[in-house]
Structure 1
Amino acid sequence: MILAVDVGNTRIKAAVFEGDILVNNFVFVRKELQKNIQNILKKYKKIADLIVSSVGDVEKQLFLEFENDLKVHFISHEDPFPFVNCYSTPKTLGIDRMVLAAGATIQFPNQNRLVIDAGTCVTFDFIDENNNYLGGAITPGLRLRYESLHDYTAKLPLLTLDNPKGLIGKSTSESIHSGVVNGLVYEIDGFIDEYSARYSNFIIILTGGDTDFLAKRLKNTIFANSNFLLESLSQTFQYKNQK
């Protein structure tokens, strides 16, 4: 069994895999990392490998403390990936984006893929049908948009995610919800429309913490899977082992 752990900017996500099957998944905050991993290992005693991808600042030593119980692996830029990295600054490409690109390449062969990860930031990553990673885009996610409106203005309140009551906000709060939510939805649909106009044989994969909230609002047909990063992390590790 494999325990895959993704350290994001806000939360830590983990999943237990038996082969390609996701057995269980977990979400927790950083201060609970060690306690939660200990609890997972106690419940699933057959876990032999801990695979970590991280864009956060959690120290590796926190994971290495489990080396007496299992093998610990950190996905890095030096690992083999199933695509050609055509990014002009390949060492700056986030490991999470590389893992997502790997999963898209493995799961959806011989087609153009756009992976949209809707978390703290929303990232767009494009891998063509010849398995060339070409790049993408990064934009603020829903939470960052709410926070920035509050942090960089004098009087706008800090709101939490909610459904807009309509296109036209009839109060300051309604206007913020409309601007933040509808603005990001229109932005994502605009990106998808532009990619779709340029490329055929095309699939769009939506993942990340805001997947369920955004998926039903997008006009385009997408493959929505909030666990796609964790699944991709397991597949990237298996690909690495095969090489």
Structure 2
Amino acid sequence: MSVDFSEKNLFVVIDAGNTSVKIGVYKNEDLIKSHDIQSEAEFIATDLPKNALAMISSVRSSTDRLFIRIQEKYPDAYVLNHETALPYRIKFGAETGADRIALCVGALRSGLADTPKLIIAVGTCITYNYLSADQNFIGGAISPGYKMRLEAMHHFTGKLPLIHLNDDIPEEVNRTTQHNMISGVHYGIQDEIEGRIGRFLKENPKAEVFLTGGGHFRLVNTTKYKIFADPNLLLNGLRFILQHNCSL
């Protein structure tokens, strides 16, 4: 279905991740169109508003061809970094990725005030991002995601196959090598996340936990804890930061 981009108050936010590029088109605060783009050719063919205000969050190299194409289409776009003006008093260091900044702002926008937060994003890597009740970025952790773990087992062994994960998760105990590998990765990630949530909530019983990222859907129903699952948390955070900067 085509979208009429002739109206004003359009905002385009772009999350240039390691594996794919996610794009959200907003009319004011409403997400009216989203895209998950894998290649330069796909980006060129995607129908996007030309004159919208835009913000880019990127973990890609500045020489990446797809990233260059994005900047050519939106030469005046804000590029998010630790020095970008934010709608909250939260501060980040120079090493903090733009994606993690947007995730934290998205969680602050969505969650309760004066409440500690743990934001878990399941993508190429899994990032854990911790916020204190007074909106300080405490820090976090990074571990390999699904694809990276499966590829590592193939790369560093002589006989384990290269497996491309689909949506079918096997039982935890299996007999085939392929299912053993998928089980080890999936249930290992599940236990890792469950452990981090449990330890965080033990110290912060009233905290909020957010789960997002391209692989989050495999884990939404696996935890015993209350979580907020939002596949668009990063895009929503970018939109809020963009609108804040446009108002300055």
TM-score by structure 1 length? Answer: 0.89
Partner amino acid, structure 1, of 2:155: D
Tell me the number of residue pairs that the alignment of Structure 1 and Structure 2 aligns.
233
Counterparts of 2:165 and 2:154, CA distance in 1: 13
Counterparts of 1:211 and 1:64, CA distance in 2: 29
Counterparts of 1:159 and 1:34, CA distance in 2: 27
Alignment of 1:171-210 (within 5 A): 171-210=176-215
Partner of 1:66: 73
Partner of 2:125: 121
CA deviations over 1:199-236 (Å, ceiling 9, x no partner): 13211111100111221222322111111111111011
Bigger proportion of residues as helix: 1
CA deviations over 1:29-71 (Å, ceiling 9, x no partner): 132364145x222xxx6x5212111001236642342358xx4
Q: Secondary structure at the match of 1:115?
A: strand
Alignment of 1:144-183 (within 5 A): 144-162=148-166, 163-183=168-188
Change (3 A) 1:83 1:154: farther
Partner of 1:27: 36
Which of 91, 107, 110 in structure 1 is aligned with 2:110? 107
Contact 2:130–2:139 under 8 Å retained in 1:
yes
Return 5+ residue gaps in structure 2 as ranges: 1-9
Change (3 A) 1:201 1:63: same
Partner of 2:5: none
Which of 226, 229, 237 in structure 2 is aligned with 1:232? 237
Q: Secondary structure at the match of 1:103?
A: helix
CA deviations over 1:174-201 (Å, ceiling 9, x no partner): 2111101000000000000000001132
Q: CA RMSD in A?
A: 1.9
TM-score by structure 2 length? Answer: 0.87
Counterparts of 2:37 and 2:133, CA distance in 1: 36
Which of 206, 213, 223 in structure 1 is aligned with 2:218? 213
Partner of 2:48: 40
Identity of aligned residues (%): 28
Change (3 A) 1:23 1:165: same
- Find runs of 4+ consecutive structure 1 residues off by over 6 angstroms: none
1:84 paired with 2:90, answer: yes
Return 5+ residue gaps in structure 1 as ranges: none
Change (3 A) 1:75 1:97: same
